[in-house]
Amino acid sequence: MTINVLGVNHKSAPIDIREKLVFDKHSIPKALEDIKNIEGVNEVVLISTCNRTEIYTENDIDNSKIIKWLSANQNSVKDCEPFMYNYSEEKAIKHLFNVASGVDSMVIGENEILGQVKDAFKIADKNNCIKSSLKKLFEFSFSVAKQVRTKTDIGVAVLFDDRYSHNKYKSLFPLFWDHYKTIGKGQYLQSYLEQFWKSKK
């Protein structure tokens, strides 16, 4: 049996391609069930965010049947396939560790992705789509992510980016400083706003 990951992210594909492969939270359980029913697939976890869609499987085949399933269900995979990456075994495992720890994120060190990976794991577990192999792998990836964050300064880059952006805005538009707006959601925006309000005190 082999650990595989098939996916697209912000480095491999432009946003118009990534959007074609996004699964909303309501469609993920059905997608998991469909992939799990593909011959040779024993376990599956599906991560789908604005910056990446990744299908992790433990199976005894390559990902060709999963690609065929995507083609039948997304109606756009022919456009997307050139932008996909397909990793197995050690490379797939290393990729998951990089994703969970924020190393593979658009903003390196952001911690929202860890919560998204954990959510994907919980949904797969709730829908009986994981057993021992992916369960152990994902649980270990959470431990790796924690070690990366506690033993390195990876999160410092996020704070630096926050400070730089709002300080730049303040210097360029001082008259509008009290009318500053942000649009978004999640832990990254929360971190940004915390730094913003500190700077105004």
As beta bridge partners, residue 87 has: 5
Element (H, E) at 55: strand 52-59
- Tell me which residue of 156, 167, 161 sits closest to 109, measured CA to CA: 156
Q: Which two tokens stand for residue 120?
A: 């994907």
Counting other chains too, the contacts that 21-26 makes at CB distance below 8 Å and 24 or more residues apart are: 21/48, 21/53, 21/70, 21/74, 21/76, 21/77, 21/80, 22/48, 22/50, 22/53, 23/48, 23/53, 24/48, 25/123
CB-CB contact of 84 with 6 (8 Å):
yes
Catalytic-labelled residue, pool 1, 50, 72, 156:
50
Is 50 marked active-site?
yes
What one-letter code names the amino acid at 49? T
Q: Could you list the active site residues?
A: 50
